[in-house]
Chain A
Amino acid sequence: MPLANATLARLREIVGAENVLTSPEDLIAYSFDGTAAMQQLPGAVVFATTTEQVAQILKHANRTKTPVVTRGSGTGLSGGSLPIPGCIVLCTVKMNRILELDRANLTILVEPGVTTLAVSDAATAAGLFYPPDPGSMKISTIGGNVAENSGGLRGLKYGITRNYVMGLEVVLPDGEILWTGNKCVKDVAGYSLRDLFIGSEGTLGVITKVLLRLIPKPAAKKTMVATFAQMDAAAQCVSDIIAAQIIPCTLEFLDRTTIRCVEDFAKVGLPLDCEALLMMETDGHPAAVAEEAAKMEECARKNGAMEVRVAKDEAEANKLATARRSAFSALARLAPTTILEDATVPRSELAKMIRFVAAVAKKYNLRVGTFGHMGDGNLHPTFLTDERNKEEMHRVEEAFKEIFDEAIRLGGTITGEHGIGMAKKSFLPKFAGDAQMRVMRELRRALDPNGILNPGKMFDR
Chain B
Amino acid sequence: MSAGHSHLKDLDYSVVQQCMHCGLCLPTCPTYDATKLERHSPRGRIALMRAIADDRLTITKTFGEEMYFCLGCLACQTACPAGVNYAELFEHARAEIEEKKILANPKRNLIRGFTVSWLFMDLRRLELLGKALRLYQQLGLQALIRRSGVLRLLPKRLQELEAMTPSVCDKFSAELIAPITSAGDTKKYRVAMLTGCAQDLTFSDVNRDTVEVLAQNGCEVFTPAEQSCCGSLHAHNGEWTLAQQLARRNIDQFPPEQFDAIITNAGGCGSHLKHYAKLLVDDPAYLKRAELWDARVNDIHEWLVQITIRNPEAGIRNQVVTYHESCHLTHGQKVVSQPRELLKAIPGLLLVELPEANWCCGSAGIYNLTQPEMAGQLLDRKIAHIKSTGATTVATANPGCLLQLINGAAKAGLKLRVVHPMTLLAEAYHAEDRDRHST
Residues in A lying within 8 Å of B, measured CB to CB = 21, 23-26, 28-34, 36, 47, 73-75, 93-94, 96, 115, 117, 136, 138-140, 261-262, 264-266, 326-330, 332-333, 336-338, 386
Q: Which of B14, B26, B39 is within 8 Å of A25, CB to CB? A: B39
Residue of B nearest to A266 (CB): B81
User: Across the interface, do B21 and A138 meet the contact criterion of CB distance under 8 Å?
Assistant: no
Nearest CB in chain B to that of A265: its residue: B81
Tell me if A329 and B24 are in contact (CB < 8 A). yes
Q: A75-B23, A94-B36, A138-B24 are in contact. Are A29 and B47 (CB under 8 A)?
A: yes
User: Is the C-beta of B141 less than 8 angstroms from some C-beta in chain A?
Assistant: no
B414 at the A/B interface (Cβ < 8 Å)?
Answer: no
Chain B residues, Cβ within 8 Å of A26: 37-39
Q: Which residues of B are interface residues toward A (Cβ below 8 A)?
A: 13-14, 17-18, 20-24, 26-27, 36-39, 41, 43-44, 47-48, 51, 56-57, 60, 62-63, 66, 80-83
The answer to whether A33 touches B56 (Cβ under 8 A) is no
CB-CB under 8 A from B22, the residues of chain A are 34, 75, 136, 328-329, 332
> With the chains together, A117 CA to B26 CA distance in Å?
13
Known: A25-B39, A47-B36, A93-B36. A32 touches B81 (CB 8 A): no
Residues of A within 8 A of B14 (CB): 336
In the complex, the answer to whether A29 meets B81 with C-beta atoms within 8 Å is no
Residues from chain B with a CB closer than 8 A to the CB of A136 are: 22-24
A115 and B51 CA atoms in complex are apart in Å by 28
Cα of A73 to Cα of B33 in the assembled complex, Å: 12
Q: List, in ascending order, chain A residues with CB within 8 A of B48's CB.
A: 25, 28-29
Contact of B57 among A24, A93, A337, A338 (CB under 8 A): A24
> Contacts A139-B27, A336-B18 hold; do A329 and B41 have CB atoms under 8 A apart?
no
Q: Is the CB of A139 within 8 A of B23?
A: yes
The 8 A-B pairs at the shortest CB distance, nearest first, are namely: A29-B44, A332-B82, A329-B81, A326-B81, A29-B38, A330-B81, A332-B20, A336-B17
Which B residues lie within 8 Å of A30 (CB)? 38
B83 near A31: Cβ-Cβ < 8 Å: no
Least CB distance, A81 to chain B, in whole angstroms: 11
Residues of A within 8 A of B41 (CB): 29
Determine the distance from Cα of A21 to Cα of B38 in the docked complex, in whole angstroms.
11
How distant is the Cα of A264 from the Cα of B82 in the complex, in angstroms? Answer: 10
Q: Contacts of A24 on B, CB cut-off 8 Å?
A: 57, 60
CB A29 to nearest CB in B, in angstroms, measures 3
Q: How far is the CA of A326 from the CA of B48 in the complex (A)?
A: 24
User: Which chain A residue shows the least CB distance to B84?
Assistant: A332
Q: List 22 A-B contacts (CB under 8 A).
A: A25-B48, A25-B60, A25-B62, A26-B39, A28-B44, A29-B43, A30-B38, A34-B23, A73-B26, A74-B21, A138-B27, A139-B23, A139-B27, A140-B23, A261-B81, A264-B83, A329-B22, A329-B80, A329-B81, A333-B82, A333-B83, A336-B13
Instruction: Tell me if A73 and B23 are in contact (CB < 8 A).
Output: yes
B-side contacts of A31, CB under 8 Å: 47
A265 — which chain B residues lie within 8 A by C-beta? 81, 83
- Give the complex CA separation of A338 and B21 in angstroms: 11
Complex: A329 Cα to B17 Cα, angstroms: 13
A117 to chain B: closest residue by CB: B27
Residues from chain B with a CB closer than 8 A to the CB of A23 are 62
CB nearest neighbor in B for A327: B81
Write the nearest CB–CB distance from A96 to chain B, whole angstroms: 8
Q: Which residue of B lies closest to A326 (CB)?
A: B81
Starting from the known contacts A25-B48, A262-B81, A264-B83, 13 additional A-B residue pairs (CB-CB under 8 Å) come to: A21-B37, A24-B57, A29-B41, A29-B43, A29-B48, A34-B22, A47-B36, A74-B21, A75-B22, A96-B36, A266-B81, A330-B81, A332-B83
A29 and B39 contact, CB distance less than 8 A: yes
A93–B41 Cα distance when bound, in Å, is 13
Q: Which residue of B lies closest to A267 (CB)?
A: B334
Residue of B nearest to A37 (CB): B20
In the complex, what distance in Å separates the CA atom of A436 from the CA atom of B23? 34
Residues of B within 8 A of A330 (CB): 81-83
Cβ distance B178 to chain A, nearest Cβ, rounded Å: 41
Instruction: Tell me which of B22, B62, B63 has the highest count of chain A C-beta atoms within 10 A of its own C-beta.
Output: B22
B43 contact set on A, CB distance < 8 A: 29
Contacts of A338 in B (CB 8 A): 20
Contacts of A96 in B (CB 8 A): 36
Contact residue among B23, B27, B39 (Cβ-Cβ distance under 8 Å from A74): B23
Q: Which residue of B lies closest to A72 (CB)?
A: B23
Distance between A369 CB and nearest chain B CB, rounded to angstroms = 13
B24 adjacent to A139 (CB under 8 Å): yes
Cross-chain contact B82 with A329 (CB below 8 angstroms): yes
Knowing A25-B57, A32-B47, A336-B17, say if A74 contacts B24 (CB, 8 Å): no
| Chain B residues within 8 Å of A139, by CB | 23-24, 26-27
A281 to B22, CA, bound (A): 26
Question: What is the bound-complex CA distance between A336 and B47, given in angstroms?
Answer: 14
Q: How far is the CA of A386 from the CA of B14 in the complex (A)?
A: 10
CA–CA, A198 and B413, complex, Å:
51
Chain A residues whose CB sits within 8 angstroms of the CB of B23 once the complex forms: 34, 73-75, 136, 139-140
A160 to chain B minimum Cβ distance, whole angstroms, is 20
By the criterion CB–CB under 8 Å, are B51 and A28 in contact?
yes
Bound form: Cα–Cα A86–B228 in Å: 54
Determine how close the nearest CB of chain A comes to the CB of B93; give it in whole angstroms.
Answer: 13
Chain A contacts of B62 at CB under 8 A? Answer: 23, 25
A162 to chain B, nearest CB (A): 23
Knowing A26-B37, A139-B27, A336-B14 touch, does A33 contact B21 (C-beta < 8 A)? Answer: yes
Question: When chains A and B are docked, how far (Å) is the Cα of A327 from the Cα of B24?
Answer: 12
A28 touches B47 (CB 8 A): yes
Among residues of B, the one whose C-beta sits closest to the C-beta of A24 is B57
Question: Residues of A contacting B38 with CB < 8 Å?
Answer: 26, 29-30, 74
Whether the Cβ atoms of A326 and B24 lie closer than 8 Å is yes
- Asked if A28 contacts B81 (CB within 8 A), the reply is no
B20 lies within 8 A of A36 (CB): yes
The reply to whether B18 and A332 form a contact with Cβ atoms under 8 Å apart is yes
Q: Which of B27, B56, B83 contacts A28 (CB 8 A)?
A: B56
B115 vs chain A, min Cβ distance (A):
27
